[in-house]
Structure formats: structure tokens, C-alpha cells
Amino acid sequence: MTIRVSQGKGKKDRVSLLSKRLLEDLRKYYRAWKPKDYLFEGPDGGPYSGTSVVKIVQRAAKRAKIGQRVTPHTLRHSFATHLLEAGTDLRYIQALLGHSSTRTTEVYTHIAVNGLSKIQNPLDLE
């Protein structure tokens, strides 16, 4: 249940998680479109340009009635923040995002404040 991302952010290759729900949708998509070289191919059969990906994400955000500005990077940040809030170890998140330094990943510890309310002070444990 993983997916390989080739030449993602920073031109890095990485492995990330694949949702079981998304897998079903991807199977339907693959059967319908039968892509040849890339799972998501642009009009000429090559990879989508960065600009096209931004437009696709922005259209999806508009259809979902999300009022804030959404970019592909927003999705990346949201993914990392949700993992952190769910208790995923920062080192795993680092690997999934392809960060070479934990300092880069530590940015998400400042964002994920919702998880703080779930932490119980050890002095309060019985």
C-alpha cells in the first residue's frame, strides 16, 4: 500500500502511503483511461506540468467550496500535519516527505497544535 513518487518536490524520488479508498478510485481511472507511461498523463501523453497540477488542485478546492488558497504544497502540509496529529513519529513523516533533515520536518510540530490538547501530563497519570 505504497506509491512511488518520481521527481516530486525538490526533484526527489520518494515512497509514500496509498489509501485503500484511493486505490479503488485509481483502479477505475486506470481501466477507463489506460495511461501508457505516467499514471496521470498530460494531453500529449507526457507528465503534467507544474502549472497544470496547480490548476487541477485549485479547481478541486473550488468544487469542495474551500475558501482559502490551496496549492499542491498545501496538500503536502496537510498530509504531514494530520500524520503528526495522529501520533506518527516525526522520523516516519520525514521519510515520507523526503526530507533529508529532521529540522525541515520539525516545522510541522509548530503547526500541529490540535494534538497538544490530547497529551496528558505525566504528573496527572495514576
Give the number of other Cβ atoms within 10 Å of residue 9's Cβ: 13
79: burial class by Cβ within 10 Å (0-12, 13-18, 19+)? middle
Instruction: Report pLDDT digits (tens) over 43-70.
Output: 888 988 889 999 999 999 999 999 999 9
Interaxial angle between packed helices 50-63 and 72-85, expressed in degrees from 0 to 180 and rounded to the nearest 10: 60
Structure pTM?
0.75
Instruction: Report pLDDT digits (tens) over 80-112.
Output: 988 988 889 999 999 888 888 888 888 877 766
120 SS3 class:
coil
- Within 8 A by CB and 6+ apart from 37, the residues are 45, 46
d(CA 107, CA 103): 7
